[in-house]
Amino acid sequence: MKVFKKIDEIRKYIKEQQKEGKTIGLVPTMGYLHEGHLSLIKKSSEENNITVVSIFVNPTQFGENEDLDQYPRDLERDVKLAEKANATAIFASEAEEIYPKGYQTYVNVKHLTKHLCGLRRPGHFKGVTTIVTKLFNIINPDKAYFGQKDAQQAIVIKRMVKDLNLDIEIVVCPIVRESDGLAKSSRNTYLSKEERNQSTVLFLSLMIAKQMIEDGERHAVVIKKSIEKNIKNESLAEIDYVSISNIETLKEIEVIKGEVLIALAVKIGNTRLIDNIQLEVNDVN
d(CA 36, CA 192): 21
Q: Count CB neighbours of 285 within 10 A.
A: 3
Binding test (CB under 8 A) with a second copy, winner from 23, 49, 60, 140 = 140
Q: Residue 261: beta bridge partners?
A: 245, 278
Nearer to a second copy, 5 or 103 (CB): 103
Listed ranges 133-141, 191-199, 211-219, 269-277: which one lies at the site for a second copy (CB under 8 A): 133-141
Q: In what order do the strands lie in the sheet with 237-246?
A: 237-246, 258-268, 271-281
What is the closest distance, in whole angstroms, from the C-beta atom of residue 105 to a second copy in the complex?
4
User: What x-and-dash track marks residues 66-95 binding a second copy by CB under 8 A?
Assistant: ------------------------------
Work out whether 137 is an interface residue with a second copy (CB under 8 A).
yes
Listed ranges 54-62, 70-78, 132-140, 252-260: which one lies at the site for a second copy (CB under 8 A): 132-140
Q: Count CB neighbours of 108 within 10 A.
A: 13
Helix (H) or strand (E) holding 6: none
The single-letter code of the amino acid at 273 is L
What is the closest distance, in whole angstroms, from the C-beta atom of residue 91 to a second copy in the complex?
12
Q: Count CB neighbours of 229 within 10 A.
A: 11
What is the closest distance, in whole angstroms, from the C-beta atom of residue 13 to a second copy in the complex?
14
Work out whether 109 is an interface residue with a second copy (CB under 8 A).
yes
What is the closest distance, in whole angstroms, from the C-beta atom of residue 90 to a second copy in the complex?
18
d(CA 150, CA 18): 30
Nearer to a second copy, 109 or 191 (CB): 109
Closest CA to 5 of 107, 83, 79, 85: 79
Nearer to a second copy, 29 or 129 (CB): 129
Of residues 3 through 22, those in contact with a second copy by CB under 8 A are 7, 11
* Catalytic-role residue among 37, 115, 124, 219: 37
What is the closest distance, in whole angstroms, from the C-beta atom of residue 129 to a second copy in the complex?
8
Work out whether 107 is an interface residue with a second copy (CB under 8 A).
yes
Work out whether 103 is an interface residue with a second copy (CB under 8 A).
yes
**For residue 59, which phi and psi values (nearest 5 degrees)?**
-60, -30
Work out whether 167 is an interface residue with a second copy (CB under 8 A).
yes
What is the closest distance, in whole angstroms, from the C-beta atom of residue 183 to a second copy in the complex?
28
Nearer to a second copy, 152 or 188 (CB): 152
Tell me the pairing of strands 2-4 and 89-91: parallel
d(CA 62, CA 53): 21
Work out whether 138 is an interface residue with a second copy (CB under 8 A).
yes
DSSP string, 157-199: HHHHHHHTT---EEEEEPPPB-TTSPBP-GGGGG--HHHHHHT
d(CA 261, CA 249): 10
Helix (H) or strand (E) holding 231: helix 220-232
Does the active-site annotation cover 115?
no
Work out whether 96 is an interface residue with a second copy (CB under 8 A).
no
Residues engaged in binding a second copy (CB under 8 A):
7, 11, 102-112, 129-130, 133-134, 137-138, 140, 159-160, 163-167
Please identify every residue annotated as catalytic.
37
